[in-house]
Structure 1
Amino acid sequence: MLVISRRRFLAAAAAAGTVPALARAARAQTSVKIGTAVLGDYSMAGPVIVALERGFFKSEGLAAEFVPFRGGPDLLKAVMAGECLVGITGSTDILVFREAGSPIKMIATHTEGNHFTLNVAADVQKIADLKGKAIGVTRAGATTWVFARMLAKKEGWDPDKDVQVVGLGGLDAQLAAMARKEIAAYVWGDGGAVTELQGKSKVLLRLDAVTPKWISQIQYASEDAIKKQADTIQKSQRALFRAIKIMRDQPGEIAELVGKKLGWSVEAVLGAHKISGPLLPIDGRINVDALAAMQDALIEHGLIKKKLALDEHYTRDFTPVKL
Structure 2
Amino acid sequence: MQSGHRTGQRLRAGLAGLILALAAGSALAESLKVGYLPVTGHAKFFVAKEQGFFKEEGLDVELVEFVNSADGLNAVVANKLDVGAFGTAAPLVHYARGSELKIIGGIMGEDAAIIVKPENAGTIKTVADLRGKKIATIRLATGDAVLRAALKDEKLNWKNDVQIFELKNPPAVLEAVKSGQVDAGVVWGPHDIRAERQGLKVVIRSSDVQPGHPCCRLVVKSDRAAKGDTWDRFLRAILKAEKFAAQNRKETIDSIQKYVKLDRDILEQGYYSPHLDQTSDPNVKGTQKFWTTLVEAEFVDGTRPLEPIFETGPYHRALEKLAKENPKDPYWKEKLQAEKARNVL
The answer to whether TM tops 0.5 is yes
CA contact (8 A) 1:35 1:88 kept: yes
In the alignment, what sits opposite 1:174?
173
Relative to structure 1, the CA distance from residue 146 to residue 222 in structure 2 (aligned partners, 3 Å threshold; closer, same or farther) is closer
- The secondary structure found in structure 1 opposite 2:135 is strand
Q: How does 1:59-70 map to 2 (within 5 A)?
A: 59-70=56-67
What stretches of structure 1 of length at least 5 have no aligned partner?
Answer: none
CA contact (8 A) 1:107 1:221 kept: yes
In the alignment, what sits opposite 1:314?
310
CA contact (8 A) 1:134 1:184 kept: yes
Percent of aligned pairs with the same amino acid:
23
Distance 2:230 2:159 in 1: 50
- The secondary structure found in structure 2 opposite 1:303 is coil
Distance 2:257 2:161 in 1: 35
The one-letter code matched in structure 2 to 1:107 is I
Q: How does 1:116-135 map to 2 (within 5 A)?
A: 116-123=112-119, 124=121, 127-128=125-126, 130-131=129-130, 133-135=133-135
In the alignment, what sits opposite 1:245?
243
Asked if 1:95 corresponds to 2:95, the answer is no
Q: Deviations over 1:16-39 (max 9, x none)?
A: 522221221122222211112xx3
Q: How does 1:45-194 map to 2 (within 5 A)?
A: 46-112=43-109, 114-123=110-119, 124=121, 127-128=125-126, 130-131=129-130, 133-139=133-139, 143-152=142-151, 156=154, 158-159=156-157, 164-170=162-168, 171-194=170-193
Q: Deviations over 1:94-151 (max 9, x none)?
A: 3211221111100012213x22122232231561494554332224x76443333344
Asked if 1:19 corresponds to 2:19, the answer is yes
- The secondary structure found in structure 1 opposite 2:220 is strand
Scaled by the length of structure 1, what TM-score is found? 0.83
CA contact (8 A) 1:75 1:87 kept: yes
Q: Deviations over 1:208-253 (max 9, x none)?
A: 11113521121011111112x2322222222222222222333332
CA contact (8 A) 2:104 2:220 kept: yes
Relative to structure 1, the CA distance from residue 256 to residue 198 in structure 2 (aligned partners, 3 Å threshold; closer, same or farther) is farther
CA contact (8 A) 1:94 1:104 kept: yes
Distance 1:99 1:158 in 2: 24
Distance 1:179 1:71 in 2: 21
The one-letter code matched in structure 2 to 1:84 is L
Relative to structure 1, the CA distance from residue 152 to residue 102 in structure 2 (aligned partners, 3 Å threshold; closer, same or farther) is closer
Deviation at 1:58, TM superposition (A): 1.8
In the alignment, what sits opposite 1:35?
35
Count the aligned residue pairs: 314
Deviation at 1:298, TM superposition (A): 1.0
In the alignment, what sits opposite 2:195?
196
What stretches of structure 2 of length at least 5 have no aligned partner?
Answer: 323-345
- The secondary structure found in structure 1 opposite 2:202 is strand
Q: Deviations over 1:271-303 (max 9, x none)?
A: 21243675101xx33333222211211111212
Relative to structure 1, the CA distance from residue 268 to residue 199 in structure 2 (aligned partners, 3 Å threshold; closer, same or farther) is same
Deviation at 1:167, TM superposition (A): 0.9
Deviation at 1:90, TM superposition (A): 0.6
CA contact (8 A) 1:258 1:269 kept: yes
Q: RMSD of the alignment, in Å?
A: 3.1
Q: Deviations over 1:31-61 (max 9, x none)?
A: 211112xx332113x2222222222222222
Relative to structure 1, the CA distance from residue 25 to residue 295 in structure 2 (aligned partners, 3 Å threshold; closer, same or farther) is same
In the alignment, what sits opposite 2:261?
263
CA contact (8 A) 1:137 1:187 kept: yes
Relative to structure 1, the CA distance from residue 173 to residue 317 in structure 2 (aligned partners, 3 Å threshold; closer, same or farther) is same
